[in-house]
């Protein structure tokens, strides 16, 4: 009985495979550029759908962790939700908009410029971390300053992350000066001594 059952399973699997070859699914709901990619392509329909499946499991796990009070689980769940949405958008449009890739976002995606844009003076518009075809490398603060100098502009200062370092303004503290007390007159001194004497007598009682 066991052998017969396995034989039936094998026959059904073979029949499905032959039917798939003769009449493959059209996948009209997905972008043609994605459907056209072979299965061994990293961003193929098969691979990305598998990534979405695993990402949903991660989202489900983080949701459970959040319900159990695990710190940071809510933020991680939202991150997985966003990643799933980005991958689903890719399947529909063919444009990968996430900075990460892989079933667990373990790979970092680099942005490639496919169409150059320019300022009125002819200087190319750039963005840190983007690969540009005219220089054939990733844009860095060093390259940016070299290009600025070539166009007669002053070089800029950048942070380690590539952000422009701006000169902050320091707030001045208000200087407070103590007001000098006016010296007491003879009458004020006499009245003060009388008050202190009265207070001591009341305290002793």
In this structure, what is the dihedral angle of CA atoms 143, 146, 147, 150, given to the nearest 10 degrees?
-170
Distance CA(102)–CA(55), nearest Å, equals 9
**Residues 76-91 pLDDT 10s:** 999 999 999 999 999 9
CA 35/CA 40 separation, integer angstroms: 12
CA 55 → CA 27, 34, 88, 138, distances in Å? 22, 19, 11, 29
pLDDT computed for residue 203 by the predictor = 67
pTM for this predicted structure: 0.59
Query: Higher pLDDT residue, 117 or 195?
Result: 117
- Grouping H, G, I as helix, E, B as strand and the rest as coil, residue 107 is strand
The share of the chain scoring above pLDDT 90, in percent, equals: 54
Place of tokens 């983080």: 62
**What's the whole-number average pLDDT of the chain?**
86
Is the pLDDT at 15 greater than 60, yes or no?
yes
Compute the distance between CA of residue 75 and CA of residue 65 in angstroms, rounded to an integer: 11
- The region of weakest confidence among 96-100, 139-143, 190-194 is 190-194
């Amino acid at each position: 009985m066991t052998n017969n059952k396995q034989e039936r399973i094998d026959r059904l699997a073979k029949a499905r495979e032959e039917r798939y070859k003769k009449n493959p699914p059209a996948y009209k709901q997905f972008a043609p550029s994605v459907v056209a990619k072979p299965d061994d392509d990293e961003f193929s329909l098969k691979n990305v759908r598998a990534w979405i499946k695993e990402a949903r499991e991660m989202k489900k796990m983080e949701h459970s962790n959040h319900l159990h009070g695990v710190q940071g689980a809510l933020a991680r769940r939202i991150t997985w939700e966003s990643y799933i949405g980005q991958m689903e958008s890719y399947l529909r449009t063919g444009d990968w908009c996430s900075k990460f890739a892989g079933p667990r976002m373990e790979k970092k995606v680099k942005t490639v410029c496919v169409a150059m844009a320019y300022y009125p003076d002819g200087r190319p518009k750039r963005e840190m971390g983007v690969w540009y075809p005219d220089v054939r490398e990733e844009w860095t603060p060093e390259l940016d300053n070299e290009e600025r100098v070539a166009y007669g502009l002053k070089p800029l200062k950048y942070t380690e992350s590539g952000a422009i370092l701006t000169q902050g303004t320091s707030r001045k503290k208000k200087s407070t000066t103590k007001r000098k007390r006016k010296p007491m007159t003879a009458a004020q001194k006499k009245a003060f001594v009388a008050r202190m004497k009265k207070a001591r007598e009341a305290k002793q009682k």
